[in-house]
């Protein structure tokens, strides 16, 4: 009985491995591009997170050279309040615009995200949550930018 199940398992694994699946972005290479951040405007925290992620690409030698201007913004909006008028939930809207210039081409890439948060009585905890969300958003924005730059060539 064990041999029969083992044999069936081996057959299924062999068939599933040879089905021809390949990841969509397998052949994308972002290491051979050079990025220079010219100017930053807006939210300093988001911009610093983005700049620290893009510094890796400023030291490479490549023919694909991009000059980028970064403009970021955030907006905090109340979603709900309790009966005493204290905020219970709020929304954080984050937006980053990348103005990309390369040789004779230019393009604007806009990335926007909305996050809903519950308000805490502790201002420290609220600030920490916002910082964490801004950091995660900056990472998402850089990943999306890099994907766009690979196809921008």
44: Cβ contacts below 8 Å, ≥ 6 apart: none
Q: Which residues pair with 144 in a beta bridge?
A: none
| Structure confidence by residue, pLDDT tens digits, 84-116 | 888 889 999 999 999 999 888 899 999 999 999
pLDDT at position 31 is 60
Number of domains the chain contains: 1
pLDDT at position 10 is 73
- In 43-153, at which residue ranges do the beta strands (DSSP E only) sit? 65-81, 87-102, 105-118
CATH number for the domain spanning 144: value is: 3.30.160.150
Q: Residue 110 falls within a domain, yes or no?
A: yes
Q: Residue 6 falls within a domain, yes or no?
A: no
Q: Residue 80 falls within a domain, yes or no?
A: yes
Confidence of residue 8 (pLDDT cuts 50, 70, 90): confident
pLDDT at position 47 is 93
Average the pLDDT over 125-148 and give the result. 91
Q: Residue 2 falls within a domain, yes or no?
A: no
Greater pLDDT, 116 or 7: 116
pTM, full prediction = 0.75
Q: Residue 21 falls within a domain, yes or no?
A: no
> Which residues span the domain enclosing 107?
30-152
Q: Residue 132 falls within a domain, yes or no?
A: yes
Q: Residue 64 falls within a domain, yes or no?
A: yes
Q: Residue 131 falls within a domain, yes or no?
A: yes
């Amino acid at each position: 009985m064990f041999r029969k199940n083992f044999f069936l398992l081996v057959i299924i694994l062999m068939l599933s491995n040879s089905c021809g699946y390949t990841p969509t972005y397998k052949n994308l290479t972002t290491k051979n591009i050079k990025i220079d951040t010219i100017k930053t405007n807006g939210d300093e925290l988001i911009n610093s997170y983005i700049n620290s992620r893009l510094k890796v690409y400023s030291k490479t030698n490549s023919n694909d050279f991009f000059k980028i201007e970064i403009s970021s913004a955030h907006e905090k909006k109340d979603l709900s309040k309790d009966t005493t008028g204290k905020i219970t939930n709020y929304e954080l809207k984050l937006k980053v615009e990348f103005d990309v210039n390369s040789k004779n081409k230019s393009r604007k890439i806009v990335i926007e995200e909305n996050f809903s948060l519950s308000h805490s009585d502790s201002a420290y905890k609220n600030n920490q949550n916002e910082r964490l969300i801004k950091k995660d958003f900056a990472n998402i924005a850089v990943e999306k930018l890099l994907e766009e730059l690979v196809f921008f060539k």
